[in-house]
């Protein structure tokens, strides 16, 4: 099945190509009723997914944008917060990767984290000024208590940042390229941008197809390595763009149950970690070009 235009984009927001295919179609998709349907419901709540024939970028044709803000605002972040230690370990490994790629720690005086969640990432930059955007009121309160400056007005605040981060954020937006464009316009020339998105090019994702656990109504967009690379390079043609696999993240029963059996009563032993790691995301790093020469 091929056609020239898709429901959500006139052309691919990543590579600009005009050809899409319908990659998943379910005329009997279940209506999204609860936040669990939206967060973890999977493909049976998705009517149509279209895919760019150029770079493999895929997206829900008619995402549930109307209630998404309410779902994030009203979500109980308890389970998310119980994973803070695992996330901090993950971000520690990511920070080490970024430093190996030339990011200089003592030059980072200000970090802005978009859709921050908790302080697991910002806490790794103790000498820097921390700012964040976050929708959920419980998480906002917690960030505030940690001394994080909460912002709403993105462009004005971005100019002061040495590092802008957006982890697992772009795929939740109706128009991810618009956010990247805003960052490009507002950030200063020396700022670095680091993003992560779920990778639908991993062997696990390709094997599972649309049954893959990260294919779910809250993820409006699905990136391949080529798609993320095109997106960042088209917006930052005069910077260095690197795409690489995310660090590994350790599994816990909490993390597993969230996806496999959302809504089931939690047992104390669910916080146990499992000696297994997974790698599900792509990291995109945008740096000033002069970094490479030095």
Q: 133 or 229: whose CB is closer to Zn ion?
A: 229
Please report which residue ranges of 16-110 form alpha helices under DSSP H: 35-40, 68-74, 78-82, 84-100
**Residue 12 makes contact with Zn ion by CB under 5 A:** yes
Q: 50 or 162: whose CB is closer to Zn ion?
A: 50
> What gap in Å lies between CA 109 and CA 96, rounded to an integer?
17
Q: 6 or 15: whose CB is closer to Zn ion?
A: 15
Strands 129-133 and 110-114: parallel
Q: 16 or 263: whose CB is closer to Zn ion?
A: 16
Residue recorded with tokens 């020339």: 189
Asked if 21 and 51 count as a contact pair (C-beta separation under 8 A), the reply is yes
The residues that bridge with 285 in the sheet, in sequence order, are: 194, 242
- Mark the segment that binds Zn ion (CB under 5 A) among 7-15, 123-131, 244-252, 271-279: 7-15
Binding marks (x or -) toward Zn ion, 50..89, rule CB under 5 A? --x-xx-x--------------------------------
**Residue 200 makes contact with Zn ion by CB under 5 A:** no
> What gap in Å lies between CA 276 and CA 139, rounded to an integer?
28
**Residue 13 makes contact with Zn ion by CB under 5 A:** no
Q: State the minimum distance, in angstroms, from the CB of residue 50 to Zn ion.
A: 11
**Residue 46 makes contact with Zn ion by CB under 5 A:** no
Q: 38 or 57: whose CB is closer to Zn ion?
A: 57
For the sheet containing 281-288, what is the strand order?
A: 149-150, 129-133, 110-114, 163-167, 192-198, 281-288, 239-245
Q: State the minimum distance, in angstroms, from the CB of residue 241 to Zn ion.
A: 16
Q: Return the structure tokens found at 265.
A: 């009563």
Number of residues interacting with Zn ion: please give it, by CB under 5 A.
Answer: 8
Q: State the minimum distance, in angstroms, from the CB of residue 166 to Zn ion.
A: 20
Q: Please, is 263 exposed, middle or buried when counting C-beta atoms within 10 Å of its C-beta (0-12, 13-18, 19+)?
A: exposed
Q: 14 or 49: whose CB is closer to Zn ion?
A: 14
**Residue 223 makes contact with Zn ion by CB under 5 A:** no
Binding footprint of Zn ion on the chain (CB under 5 A): 12, 14-15, 17, 52, 54-55, 57
């Amino acid at each position: 099945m091929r056609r020239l235009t898709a429901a959500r984009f006139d052309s691919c927001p990543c590579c600009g190509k005009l050809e899409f295919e319908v990659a998943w179609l379910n005329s009997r998709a279940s209506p999204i009723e609860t936040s669990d349907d939206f967060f973890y419901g999977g493909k049976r709540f998705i009517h149509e997914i279209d895919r760019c024939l150029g770079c493999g970028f895929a997206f829900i044709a008619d995402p549930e944008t109307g209630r998404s803000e309410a779902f994030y605002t009203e979500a109980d972040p308890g389970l998310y917060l119980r994973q803070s230690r695992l996330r901090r370990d993950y971000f520690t490994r990511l920070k080490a990767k970024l430093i190996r790629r030339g990011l200089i720690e003592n030059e980072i005086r200000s970090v802005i984290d978009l859709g921050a969640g908790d302080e697991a990432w910002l806490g790794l930059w103790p000498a820097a000024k921390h700012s964040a955007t976050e929708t959920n009121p419980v998480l906002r309160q917690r960030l505030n208590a940690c001394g994080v400056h909460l912002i709403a007005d993105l462009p004005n605040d971005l100019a002061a940042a040495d590092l802008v981060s957006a982890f697992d954020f772009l795929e939740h937006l109706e128009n991810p390229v618009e956010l990247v464009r805003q960052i490009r316009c507002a950030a200063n020339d020396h700022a670095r941008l680091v993003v992560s998105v779920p990778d639908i090019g991993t062997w696990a994702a390709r094997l599972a197809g649309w049954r893959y656990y990260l294919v779910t109504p809250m993820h409006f967009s699905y990136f391949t390595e080529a798609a993320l690379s095109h997106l960042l390079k088209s917006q930052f043609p005069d910077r260095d763009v690197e795409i690489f696999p995310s660090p590994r993240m350790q599994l816990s029963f909490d993390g597993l149950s969230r996806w496999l059996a959302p809504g089931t009563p939690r047992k104390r032993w669910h916080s146990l970690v499992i000696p297994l790691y997974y790698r599900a995301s792509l990291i995109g790093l945008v740096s000033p070009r002069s970094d490479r020469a030095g």
